[in-house]
Every structure is written in structure tokens, then in C-alpha cells.
Amino acid sequence: MLLIILAVFSGAVSSFKSFDWKKLIPQTSVFNKITETQKVVTEESATITVVEKVSPPVVSVVEKTTVYDFFSGPLLSENSIGTGFAVEPDLVVTNKHVVSDTSAQYTIVTSQNKKLNVIKVYRDPINDLAILKIENGNLPIIELGNSDTVKVGQTVLAVGNALGEFSNSVTRGIISGIGRGITAKLGVFGAAESLDNVIQTDAALSPGNSGGPLVNLSAQVIGVNVAISQSGENIGFALPVNKVTELIANFKANKKISRAFLGVSYTMISQALADNRGLVGGALVRGVSVSSAAEEAGIKVNDIIAQVGGKDVNDANPLANFLNSHKVGDKITLTIWRAGKTMTISVTLKEAATE
């Protein structure tokens, strides 16, 4: 009798263990909601942690200029014009167009509202980047990442002085594209410049965000915010941070940046668009700088630079990539498409002017 009871009990226990109790829990049960809530809280926590870490090194850049009032005479005007971030206790990175006025004085304002003087500005003549040397700087620093490892779809945060008024504003988005070539108007009164290999993001950027960091969820800078699209919403662009690493190295070595300069602004034409319009793929020249190598060689607006040294110019190999691989004084051969005709032009590259 005892053996029968034990056998029945054992069978009951076995049935109890094998029964799928999850079937009794509806899909919208409190257990699922708890799991979903935990996921959301984890994502929010990661974002908050990054913001708390990267915000202290982010600063506002202020331009000090002298204006003349008819009654009062010369007056000092201070305007918050952009953003920067500290890479060393006394070095701040920003955009070149933020500090383009060589006659102005600049200061930075920290997240603690402390004002510090800029005693030296080191500008890159090609990339829209600059380094500010800070007087008595003791700033917290931000970690630089590797922009070569950036992936489309990864989450990023943009931190900056939105509209020149709301310091340390944070927006969140993803990497929307990499390796973009754009022609951007830099600054309110700035000229249009061609920027290659930039990072596209849908993290909202505003005037005043220029020079601020684009960071990943490891709290590392992967880009420097530089421009926004005027024809679409939430289309912003950032310069790859690896360009900053090179700039810092040159600055520390007290090395003058010498870059080969062709002297054209352009828009890339994809092969698909070229086929559709009856053109050739390459770099469509939008402007030619006065006294530049391009002007001296006879390059004209609406020319399409199809090849450099016999190699195709395309989205994968934009014009800037070819120029960056050459030095000042190098002769290059360009294959130009002009009004349906192809021609070859020899150009001797000049040095980019330093502002």
C-alpha cells in the first residue's frame, strides 16, 4: 500500500514539474510589464550615466568683439557662438568656423559658469577644426573614441550650447550614415565648404551646437558636430574624431599644418544619378577659389572631376581622399567632364591658407 501511495505521489510530483505553468500567465501579465520596465530603465540609466560623465568637459565658446556706439563710443560685446570640449586640462576642441574671426578675442564658459581666457587658437586650414589653448586651464577631460569603428544604427548623444543660449543641452539619436560628402555653409555668414567622410546623425542639432561632441554609449567622442541640413529635419553631420587626434598631435609638436589645396567646392554625383541625368559620376564643381591651383589650371564651375591620376572619383573615394594623399607642390592629373566632352588637366597643388 505504501509503495502505491509513493508511486502515485511521485507521479504527481513529476506531472507538477513537467506542467508548463507559463501557459497560465497571460502575455500582458504583470511579469511581462516588469521585464519591459526593467529594459526601459536600463536604457535610460545608460544614457543618464553617459550624460553625467561627458557634460563637465563641454564648454560654451564666447566671442568678445568691440562695437561702436554713437553716444558711448567703443563697447565690448560678448556673444556665445558655439561649443567645445576639453581633451586636456588646458586644450579645448571646437569648429574652425566658430573661431574664424582672427581679430576677435575668445573665452570659454564651463559647465560651472566659470570664464576662462583663450590665449591661442590653432586652426586647421582644411578640416573645420580648431584647438583653443586655455589660460590657467584645469578642465575635466573627455575620452576620445575611434571614428573608424562607427556603425550605422548605433546610439549617439549630442551635447552642446543649443542656439547659443541653452548650454549643455543633450539630444539622442543614432548614426544614420557614414562616409558622407557634403557642401555646408559654416556659420551664419560663412562661405560654403566641402566636407568629406562626415558622419550623419538624426540626433537633433541646432545653431550653437557647432564644435560640440557626438558621443557613443561608452562616453567616448566619435565626432565633432559641424553642420545641419537646411532642407530636412534631424539630418546633422559630425567630423570624425580621428581628425581631432591628428590635429592634437600637430599642435603638441608645434607643427604647422600644411595641406595640399586644390581650391574647389563641390558636390558628389553618384553613378546612379549620373546615369539618370546623362552625366558622368564624380565631383561636380560648385565654386573655384581665386588664385587657387584649380583656377590657374582652368577648372570651371559645373566641371565634373571624374578621375584623379586615372582613378575614379566616387562616393567610396571622394575627391578629398585623393588630395589628402598628396603634398603641397605635387602635380596631379585630373580627368574633367565639361559640357559633354572629356579632357585631361594637369594641376600643381598649392598650400591651403591658414586663417
Query: CA Rg, the chain, in Å?
Result: 28
Decide: 122 and 138 in contact? Cβ < 8 Å.
no
Q: Give which of 271, 264, 324, 339 is closest to 296, Cα–Cα.
A: 264
**Residue 322 · residue 313 · CB < 8 Å:** yes
Q: Among 196, 232, 227, which Cα is nearest to 212's?
A: 227
The CB-side HSE value for 258 (13 A sphere, CA atoms) comes to 11
- Cross-strand partners of 75: 67
Per DSSP, the residues of 22-42 read GGGS-TTSHHHHHHHHHHHHH
Q: What share of the chain is helix, strand, coil (3-state, %, to 5)?
A: 25, 40, 35
**CA–CA gap between residue 179 and residue 318 (Å, rounded):** 9
Grid coordinates of 288: 573655384
Beta-strand relationship, 220-228 and 143-144: parallel
Q: Which residues are catalytic?
A: 97, 128, 210
Looking up cell 543633450, which residue turns up?
A: 170
User: Which H helix or E strand runs over 226?
Assistant: strand 220-228
Contact, 50 vs 219, CB < 8 A?
Answer: yes
